[in-house]
Chain A
């Protein structure tokens, strides 16, 4: 059963990932990305991490990709771009080298590392308590400092995005409502 769920989730993830890279239309790429995110959510649920699965969908599929799509629609980038011209010279070669290295590293880790199949003890999973309760307790006790630091990081990103957007404003004559401009930049930055 678990094997079946894993294979189904992995197929959704990989198909989505390939779709993101190969689609010529940016909207199709964004939709493939949603597919990948859903596949990952399925894998989270198979690992009993229901909270992560729900948050994955709320934050990534429900907010970030929606904002991607919003920007794509607003800017009207709905025709396929000419992808033969490289914006940075030699980019494709270096990307290929990095990809091969990463794939090799991953294969090495899986090949030479020892996978026992046992669950990690670091997470201290208590089968009697709901998953959400445990995550909540950990975040607000042991990992409170990391949690708060992350929120400070987000605030900095928001302020930075607003500042950047303010400066560009002066050139615009017919500006869209102010609510809509900083949002995509802020999400990308975070």
Chain B
């Protein structure tokens, strides 16, 4: 079995190697949980600053232990299971929301020395290794797979509660998350397209390879031309059910949607998973578009700077998440679906084809300006046709009397 192209597992797998892997697993889990705890505090603090409030300030310095206190309180509460619920699925659902996020986090390069062509490997205890739990061959695909099964938790939680608002929420959730997955996948495709590993001409799907292709300054943010980044960020926000796309839990319309019937520890798991997913998605954005742990080594050992750059970039992205939440009002459901299907998917598809044309053109020696111009003209024509088709279908429906 190939467990990915980590140099650690390339040679003889002895006791030290097994220990290193175990320590990495424990550390990843620890970082995950601590990051989630800090993320909850961070979000509450920033939101309160943006809304001219004080926010949590009692537990610990700057209220940093607030999450811990909340967690303790919620564990001591009674754990209710509604009579009409499907007991097995009701218990299973919170776990299903958390597991995919943990697995995804294991694929993110959290650090590593990407300077001077070292490819992110770090030497420790006599072995070279990447500072990520696993680096499977299908890297990005595994991330997409995990994001595609993340919908199960929300969906089953709503259904198994056996009550109306949660069910409405879970129907909304499944439609929304399945819709935005297409845009998410297509913008990842743009990243994969430009990530080759140097001279061999082979592309790569591994997270390590994608970061390596970006080191030190060839960030996919500008290599893919900003649009995939914007699309990915919007689709990620929708996948996370965060405002302005939090139709799934919209308190004013659906009480609390899939969480309505949950209490005590199971509610805490949902709460944890929500922020864990936010941290993980932020880490994916950093890895795919902002160069991950790649960055200049200023002073001291290279592996240290990997951590520094990664977490700096992560904090910037997470701040952007919170900032969006505080500034943009929630969209309507039809606006959400229109944005996903009629804007994001066509745009990401067109942009990917443009990138392909530029790529093929540079191989075949076409005039780059002409390639871009023709590509842009084709995209504009495609958009015009799409618009016409939409108008025609709208008029048809008006004639049929389906809408007024």
Q: Which residues of A contact B (CB under 8 A)?
A: 1-2, 5, 25, 27-28, 31, 34, 45-46, 48, 50-51, 53-55, 57-58, 61-63, 66-67, 69-70, 73-74, 78, 129-133, 136, 169-170, 175, 177, 179-180, 183
Contact = CB atoms under 8 A, between A and B. Distances in A.
Given A1-B1, A57-B148, A73-B170, 12 more contacts: A28-B89, A31-B89, A51-B141, A57-B145, A58-B148, A62-B148, A62-B149, A73-B174, A131-B2, A132-B205, A133-B203, A175-B402
B145 A179 contact: no
A177 B340 CA distance: 13
Given A25-B86, A31-B89, A54-B145, A66 B174 contact: yes
Contact of B142 (A54, A66, A170, A175): A54
Given A63-B148, A73-B167, A179-B175, A53 B138 contact: yes
Contact of B2 (A48, A62, A73): A48
A50 B159 contact: no
Contacts of B141: 51, 54-55, 58, 132
Nearest to A47: B1
A180 B177 CA distance: 12
Given A62-B149, A66-B178, A51 B138 contact: yes
A164 B302 CA distance: 61
Contact of A54 (B138, B151, B202, B333): B138
B137 A131 contact: yes
A187 to B, nearest CB: 10
A44 B337 CA distance: 35
15 contacts: A48-B2, A50-B137, A54-B138, A54-B144, A55-B141, A58-B141, A58-B145, A58-B148, A66-B148, A78-B159, A130-B204, A169-B402, A170-B400, A177-B175, A180-B175
B155 A179 contact: no
A8 B106 CA distance: 22
A100 B141 CA distance: 39
Nearest to A175: B402
Given A62-B181, A69-B155, A74 B137 contact: no
B174 A69 contact: yes
B111 to A, nearest CB: 24
Contacts of B145: 54, 57-58, 61-62
* Cβ-closest 9 pairs across A and B: A62-B148, A54-B141, A57-B145, A54-B138, A50-B138, A50-B137, A58-B145, A70-B174, A130-B137
B159 A46 contact: no
B334 interface: yes
B138 A132 contact: yes
B361 interface: no
A31 B95 CA distance: 14
Contacts of A66: 148, 151-152, 155, 174, 178
B323 interface: no
B159 A73 contact: yes
Nearest to B4: A50
B171 A70 contact: yes
A7 to B, nearest CB: 15
Given A27-B86, A54-B142, A57-B148, A179 B137 contact: no
B71 interface: no
Contacts of B151: 62, 66
A50 B144 contact: no
A70 B177 CA distance: 12
A50 B136 contact: yes
Interface string B131-143: 0000011100110
